[in-house]
Each structure stands twice: as structure tokens, then as C-alpha cells.
Amino acid sequence: MTSDRPNGVSAGETGPLSFDTSVAHQARVYDYLLGGKDNYAADRAAAEAALRVYPEWAFTARANRALLGRVVRFLAADAGIRQFLDIGTGIPTAGNTHQVAQDIAPESRVVYVDYDPIVLAHARALLTSHESGATEYIDADLRDTGTILAQAAELLDFAKPVAVTLIAILHAIPDSDDPYAIVRRLMDAVPSGSYLALSHLGLEFLAPETLEEMQGMSSNIQQRFAYRSGEQVARFFEGTDLVDPGLVKVEEWRPEPGNGDQGSSALWCAVGRKR
Ligand SMILES: C[S@@+](CC[C@H](N)C(=O)[O-])C[C@H]1O[C@@H](n2cnc3c(N)ncnc32)[C@H](O)[C@@H]1O
């Protein structure tokens, strides 16, 4: 099937992506970088081209996925969170949010959201909840917070704390779509004691010429990426208190001993508790 969209998602356009295997998609490129099998020639070509410009993309993807596990473990085990709204879920792989959370607290309830049809096609793997908890999948665009919150309310109790996880998704939202207002709308819907966790491409981590080359390659992938500075990423956390160690690179957020995977990622991350 051919796409009815130009490359990139233009401002204000929301809704599921078309299933176009001739253009690389973020979810499938990430899957390839993680060593997965749910990707097509266009995704592999885009990933290989990106790796030639910046070889740390593969480590960045692995470090991001490892971060997701550590963050969800922290939220379930240390912060006592039992409800998760995981937006930008990605293609299911090892250590999906509900598996990590329910290993610690089987009663955890997880709502997944993604707009990519390939993620929807694999959503069954996300609906394998422990019988004491529950999971749901919403096929929606992050920018459509009204739909997301209305549908999530069928599974989550918004009177109780919720962890909103936006792991490696917000850089796919351009400034013209006001990502700060999107995060604000989500965090306004959850009570004090809720958490925001996110990772985001960092402007400081790529040399200017590498960044320019990456941006010049944006026509071979569906999403356009907005690299943001640490200061810009920190602004997403207004109204929250950051838990230790604050805003750091993903591999530096509460690293666990024994992980021999070494490298330097291009992603900021932090976790904040709503005041
Ligand atoms: C790099 S993957 C991250 C997957 C997972 N969160 C993780 O960190 O392992 C980003 C995901 O965000 C999804 N995504 C990007 N923009 C989106 C949007 N506007 N609405 C919903 N999902 C989006 C992509 O389809 C992709 O599956």
C-alpha cells in the first residue's frame, strides 16, 4: 500500500499512520536497531544510513529500552505506582511495561498507546495481562490527548496516581504541535503523586555536522525528529519534582550493576513526581 501522506507528519495532522512499508517508520527502525524482526527493507536501509553517520544509534536504542525497564521497576517497586499510561509503546519486545510492572505488582493496570499500524498488529502480545491486573491498547496519536484520556479512563482510575511514560516519543512531535501543551494536558488529568517519565533526543549529544547530516536524511523516514536541549527537555517537567539523579543520559539513570553494555547514547531522560 502506498502512503497518502508526504514524508513527515505535518502540524495538526493526527491519527494512525498508514501501513506503508516503502517508507521507514520510527517503530520499525527502532525494532531493527534492537535486533528485532518486525522491519522492512526501507527501515533497515534508513537505520544503516543513520548508523553510518552516527554509529551510537544501536547503543542508544538498547540503552533506551533498558531505561524503560529500570524506570517501570522504580515506579512499581519504589514509588508504589499501579497504573501506567504508556504512550509510544513500540513493537512489543522483551520487557514490555506490563510485564515489568506486573512482575513486581501483578495488579498493575497498563494502557498502551501508539499510532503505528505495525504496533497495532502486534498488540495482542501487550494484552497478556496477569489475571490480577489488566492491560488495554489504544490506537491513537499522542497529539489527540482527548481520545487517549477518554479511552484510558475505561481502565485507569484518574483519581489515583498514574505514571505517564513517554519513552522516546516526544522528539517525534515538532514545536508546531506544541509538545509542552500535550504533556500539560496529560499531567493535568492525573492527581498529585502521579509521575511523568520520558526520554528524548538531546541536541547536545551530536556534533553540529552530524546533526545536520541526520536532519538531511529525514526524507527517508516517516517522522521528523526534533532534537531538544537539556533545558528544553527539563521544561516538560514543570509542576513535578525530579527524582534522583534528575535529568541525565538514559544510561546514567540509576544504572544497574552487571550491565556490560557500554556506549554513549543521544538521549536525555528524567522521572518527575507531580506536586
Ligand atoms: C522509538 S519507539 C519507543 C518504544 C518504547 N517506548 C521504548 O522506549 O522502547 C517510539 C514509538 O512512538 C510511536 N509514536 C511516534 N509518534 C507518535 C504519535 N504522535 N502518537 C503515537 N505514537 C507515536 C512510534 O510509532 C513508535 O512506536
Beta carbons within 8 Å of 197's beta carbon, 6+ residues apart? 71, 75, 163, 164, 165, 166, 167, 269, 270, 271, 272
Buried-exposed string 155-174: b where 16+ CB fall within 10 A, e elsewhere: bbeeeebbbbbbbbbbbbbb
Ligand 1 pocket, CB under 6 A: 26-27, 30, 64-65, 68, 88-90, 114-116, 119, 141-143, 167-169, 172
* Position in ligand 1 atom list of the atom nearest CA 144: 20
User: According to the model, what pLDDT value does residue 217 have?
Assistant: 84
**Interval 86-125: pLDDT, tens:** 999 999 999 999 999 999 999 999 999 999 999 999 999 9
Percent of the chain with pLDDT over 70: 94
Report the pLDDT value the prediction gives residue 5, as an integer from 0 to 100: 28
Task: Identify which of 127, 138, 168, 204 has the alpha carbon closest to the alpha carbon of residue 30.
Answer: 168
pLDDT digits (tens, 9 = 90+) for 220-231: 788 889 999 999
The pLDDT of residue 218 is 75
Q: Please give the number of the atom of ligand 1 that sits closest to the Cα of 173.
A: 19
Residue-level pLDDT at 68:
98
Which residue is closest in CA terms to ligand 1's atom 14? 88
The mean pLDDT value of the chain amounts to 92
From 25, 116, 267, the mutation candidate for ligand 1 (largest count of ligand atoms within 8 A of CB) is 116
**Mean pLDDT, residues 134-156:** 98
- Bridge-based pairing of strands 134-139 and 109-114 is parallel
Atom of ligand 1 nearest to the CA of 88: 12
Task: Note the pLDDT tens digit of each residue in 26-68.
Answer: 999 999 999 999 999 999 999 999 999 999 999 999 999 999 9
pLDDT in tens, 233-268: 999 999 999 999 999 999 999 999 887 899 999 999
